[in-house]
Structures are given as structure tokens and as C-alpha cells.
Amino acid sequence: MSIRLEMLQVARVAPKTLGDSADLVRDFLLAQQNPDGGFRDRTGTSDLYYTVFGLEGLLALRADIRVPAVAQYLVNQDCGERLDFVHLCCLARCWAALANQQPDILSQRPADFITRVAARLFGTAYGCFLALAAYQDLGVELPEPLRVVQCLKFLETPDGGWTNERGMKFGATNSTAAAVTLLRHLRLPLTAQVGEWLLKQAHPQGGFLAIPGAPIPDLLSTATALHALSGLEVSFDPIREKCLDFIDTLWTAEGSFHGNWTDDHLDCEYTYYGLLALGHLSL
């Protein structure tokens, strides 16, 4: 199962906890779609990155998607020649998301898409994660997977985690979660120390910290940490209720989640991460 489908499968469990509020989340996500078919960033402009989360959130809630409108938006991006690496990978993921509802939609995808992704692999934990996910979304094998493993080796930190850039002395939660997911999908072994490192990032009031010693937890780190721990088959039962309480403090009656206690904005990205986190906590 691909990274995208694995996460989607978990996010689809979130309504078990949301109950009737799942309809509010669906309505919020639908309202984030612009007339051009894309989903809004925090300025209101259609953006591929946010379109990924809008589509995946709607799929998680089994809501109807305006497939023709989104497909036209993606076609207008051509094969991503003007896109940076992150948005290029997002374009691949958007096509894969549409194929969930309408498999034949991929016939509209530019034929040279794969070579564009292949040219952009670079050496950060996030970059490697996006590259593997993009290849999976395109239905092709990742070339030279051992080079990804070598890259991650340089990103290991003395405290037992991973960082996104070389030279850091302590790990970061999202980078460590990305490394865990990558190595697991490449069928490589992981030590118990990784799960211990992730659990240490849990905040006393619930949620997970982005880095050791961060002042407050955030929703992104919480969702990715829970996903990594689940993949490692490490129990987080002792902190389950506190994590649910933390996510509840981020919930709004508008049908979305704030990214952390200081974040005033609402968007598709954190709405999706709220669904992913709740999915894991509902299992």
C-alpha cells in the first residue's frame, strides 16, 4: 500500500470520533475550493499544496469531489515545468487522489510527468519522503532506493531521531516520522529506540512537540508522530486521551482545526492533519 493510501485509510476512521461534526468538516473543505478547481492557501489563492489536503480530506470523509473542475485545474499546471519540487510532487498526488474516484482521469495527465519528478530528488528527509510518495502516486518504482537510505544515514542525530538537514545535534519529530515511514516502506529494519524517541516528544498536556524542548505542541507533529508510532507498532495508549483533549482544544465550530494554540488561521492542511490524528486515536 502506498504512503498516500495508508494515510487515507487511517483518516477515514476520524468520523468515528467526530460524529455529526464530520459534516462540518466536509462543508469547510468544500468551501475552500475556488471556482478554478483548486483549493485555497492562506491568502485565498488556489495552490497545489493545499489542493492535496482538500482532496485527501474530502476522500477521507467519503464526500463528493468536483472531479472535472479539479482535473482542469491540474491540466492547467501542464507537467509542472514551472513548479518547485514540493509543488511538483503535490501535482502527482492530486492526480492520484482524483484517480480514487475516477480511475480513467489519469488519461488527462501529461505523458512526461514521471521524468519531471525523477529530476528533482534531493537530500533532505522531507524531500526523500515526497520523492518516494510521488513515485508511488505515479505507479513506478523509486530508482536507486539505497541512495535514499544513504541520505537518511547522514540525517540521523545523536539523540536517536532524524533531522531534515545535516549537522543538527537533535532530531525533529516530523523528520523522524518521515524517516520512519520511508524506511518502513523500503522494508528496512528500525530499532525500538526510534519509538522511544518519538514518545519522548509528547507534551504533558497532550499532542507532540516539533523538536525537543519546543514550548507548545502542534497538530502536524502530533499527526505525523502518531502515524510513525502506529507504523512501528508502538503503543501510545497511555497518552491517547491527552492527545484527544489536545486536538479538541484546536477544534472550531467552523469544521476545522488550528495548527497550534497560537494559530488563528484555518486551512485544508491542518484540517486534514486533524483527521489523520483523530483516525489514529480512534483505532
- pLDDT tens digits along 114-138: 566 655 455 899 999 999 999 999 9
| Domain boundaries, position 244 | 3-282
Residues 6 or more apart in contact with residue 35 via CB below 8 angstroms: none
* Per-residue model confidence (pLDDT) at position 116: 61
CA distances from 252 to 31, 39, 170, 180, 255 (A): 15, 20, 34, 31, 6
CATH number at residue 162: 1.50.10.20
- Tell which residue, 253, 242, 254, 247, has the closest CA to residue 274: 247
Residue range 3-20: mean pLDDT, rounded: 98
CA-CA distance, 180 to 207, in Å (whole number)? 19
154 backbone dihedrals φ, ψ, rounded to 5°? -75, -15
| pLDDT of 197 strictly over 80 | yes
| pLDDT of res. 115 | 60
Q: Indicate whether 53 pLDDT > 50.
A: yes
Number of domain units in the chain: 1
